[in-house]
Each structure stands twice: as C-alpha cells, then as structure tokens.
Amino acid sequence: MATKAQIASAARALFAAQGYVGTTIASIAEAADIPAPTIYSAFGGKAAILKAIAWDVAGTLDIDRAHEQALAQPDPRDGLRTAANIQRRQFEQMYDVIDIYQEAARTDPDIARDIQTIAANRERAFRRHIEAIAPQLRPSLSVDEGVTIYLALVLPEVYRTLVIEGGWAADRYEDWLAGALITQLLA
C-alpha cells in the first residue's frame, strides 16, 4: 500500500509539473525511487495511476454526502451556498488532477470516457438539486436552463481564471459562486 501511495504521489507531482503526456513511467519510477516493473505491476500504466489519484482525492471529499446536505437545506439559498462550498473544496483539493484529466483525455480514449462519465454524474447531481428547488427558480427559467447555468458557473476554467490566474482567495471564489448561483437561479 505504501508503494502505491509513493507512486501516486510522485506521479501527481510530475503530471502537474510536466503534464500527462510529458510524464513517462520511467520518470515516475525515478521520482518514486521504485522500479518501473513494480509500477506496471501495481497499476498497469499512467491512466490507471491518474485514475487512482483522482479516486483517492475524491474519496476524501465525500461528494455524494455533501450534495445530500445541500439538498437537505430548507432554504434554497443555503443549499446553493453549500453547493458552492462543495465546488470550492473540490477545486482546492484536486484542481491539478482535473486539469491533468482534461489534458490526458485529448490523447487517451479511456480517460476521455472517464471524463464523459464524470460529467454525466455531475450533471445528474446538479439536475437533482435544480429539480428540488424548481418551485423557487426565477420565473420562466426551466430546470434544463437552470442546469445549464449551474454547469457553466462551476466550470474548472472559471475557477482557474478567478483563483489561479486572477489571484482570488478560495473564500472569495466560494462567495462569488454562491452569489452567482443564487442570483442566476432563484426568484
């Protein structure tokens, strides 16, 4: 188990520094100080390492439970604030992994399929939230339009623009996102 963690840690750092395509199993082996055959035996390849990293980080966030908490809020504004907090925590803890996934999807069909599955799961969770607050949506805003707005506001590119490139603190991003969700979605 320690070996897998050591490999994943080295790979995550290399993926972030050199990109997915630029990182080789040989470079991961060197950085982790573990022979390449052991890496292949433990994971099978770069895509499996990246998936393991993503699952490990996502597992610490307990996203499904967090979405349930957002849905359980009696005031839809509080639920959207909770949703903004979920998104902030996701980006804080794994923006680098999301960015790597996006790069990897351009060259790896398995990763591209994973991204499609992840996007479909996210959309289902967001749709469930929007459907739950549908009676409080702005007049003439359909559930489908609400989901589209929600999806647009939580794009990784928005986070990158505001926080990574713009220098915003994560708290400011969360407040902005909560305000935008509330303003755009609720009556």
Instruction: Give the span between the Cα atoms of 34 and 63, in whole angstroms.
Output: 32
CATH number of the domain encompassing residue 7: 1.10.10.60
Contact between 29 and 35 under an 8 Å Cβ cutoff? The reply is yes
Percent of the chain with pLDDT over 70: 99
72 and 43 together in one domain: no
Q: What is the pLDDT of residue 63?
A: 87
Question: 133 lies in a domain?
Answer: yes
CATH number of the domain encompassing residue 147: 1.10.357
164 and 102 together in one domain: yes
45 and 67 together in one domain: no
Question: 109 lies in a domain?
Answer: yes
pLDDT, averaged across the chain: 95
Region 104-129: what's the mean pLDDT?
95
72 and 34 together in one domain: no
106 and 165 together in one domain: yes
Q: What is the pLDDT of residues 31-73, one digit of tens each?
A: 999 999 999 999 999 999 999 999 999 888 988 888 899 999 9
Q: HEC states along 87-132? A: HHHHHHHHHHHHHHHHHHHCCCHHHHHHHHHHHHHHHHHHHHHHHH
Q: What is the dihedral angle through the alpha carbons of 63, 150, 136, 121, rounded to the nearest 10 degrees?
A: -40
Question: 55 lies in a domain?
Answer: no
137 φ, ψ to 5°?
A: -65, 155
78 and 30 together in one domain: no
Q: What is the pLDDT of residue 1?
A: 60
Question: 56 lies in a domain?
Answer: no
Region 83-98: what's the mean pLDDT?
96
How many structural domains compose the chain?
2
Question: 57 lies in a domain?
Answer: no
- Choose among 143, 150, 148: nearest CA to 79: 150
Question: 18 lies in a domain?
Answer: yes
Question: 13 lies in a domain?
Answer: yes
Question: 82 lies in a domain?
Answer: yes
- Choose among 21, 103, 8: nearest CA to 49: 8
Contact between 137 and 143 under an 8 Å Cβ cutoff? The reply is yes
42 and 75 together in one domain: no
45 and 95 together in one domain: no
By residue range, what is the domain housing residue 28? 2-49
Between the alpha carbon of residue 30 and those of residues 4, 17, 121, the distances in Å are: 14, 15, 36
Q: What is the pLDDT of residue 59?
A: 87
45 and 136 together in one domain: no
